Amino acid sequence: MTCCGPPRNGGTGNRREGARVRTGVRSRWDKAVLVCAKCSKKLDGGFGDGGKPLAKALRKHLKLKNGPKAAAGVVEVKCLDVCPKGAVVVVDSERPGDWLLVRPGDDLDAVAARLGLDQGA
């Protein structure tokens, strides 16, 4: 028996050959917030304790897990094409027409409240 030879039974070698392919994933998110990664990178952090990027600072401040098990999603997106000086653009999925500009040093409790994110989210 060799580890790297062709499959003996004529199959493709995929152990899960008969397995169904996923078409979706469930999450526990009540809402999603989009944070511009380019704005965050230009500012080089400056949010929360330790001067983290805004998305990380918000997640830590609100004690949110990463991924689909979190109560809300704080997602960094490549660029939102607004590029304000000295601020990060944030979009609340429940109010996509009202974008928020967050500056370094802004109170994360106030930012979370404006985005509708609770401390225990």
* Confidence at residue 11, expressed as pLDDT on a 0 to 100 scale: 58
Helices 108-115 and 54-61 pack at an angle, to 10 degrees, of 90
Whether the CB-CB separation of 108 and 47 falls below 8 Å is answered with: yes
Express each pLDDT in 87-116 by its tens digit: 999 999 999 999 999 999 999 999 999 999
Listed in sequence order, the residues at least 6 apart from 53 whose beta carbon sits closer than 8 Å to its beta carbon are 37, 40, 41, 45, 47, 76
* Confidence at residue 33, expressed as pLDDT on a 0 to 100 scale: 96
> At 39, phi and psi to the nearest 5?
-60, -45
Nearest to 54 by CA among 77, 30, 31: 77
**Among the four given CATH numbers 3.40.50, 1.10.10, 3.40.30, 3.90.580, the one describing domain 32-115:** 3.40.30
All structural domains of the chain with their residue ranges: 32-115
Express each pLDDT in 29-88 by its tens digit: 989 999 999 999 999 888 988 889 999 999 999 999 888 989 999 999 999 999 999 999
